[in-house]
Amino acid sequence: MPLSGEAIRTMNYVDDISVTLRRILSVLPVLTPEERERIAEHIRHAEPSYETVIAALTAK
């Protein structure tokens, strides 16, 4: 079954998220431990989270 345009656009958004995560990973070595922890906390509290989206996709 072919994908709708909306599904394809949504998959492109996921690709954009992956690019952003790669950029975050690439800068981590230059950050101090305090900066790394602050960013980790920021990510933990971001909403919607990746887990929230996965739960919505798999909900019946």
- Number of domain units in the chain: 1
Task: State the residue range of the domain holding 14.
Answer: 5-58
- Residue 1 has a pLDDT of 85
- Show the 3-state SS of the chain: CCCCHHHHHHHHHHHHHHHHHHHHHHHHHHCCHHHHHHHHHHHHHCCCCHHHHHHHHHCC
How does pLDDT run across 24-59, given as a tens digit for each residue? 999 999 999 999 999 999 999 999 999 999 999 999
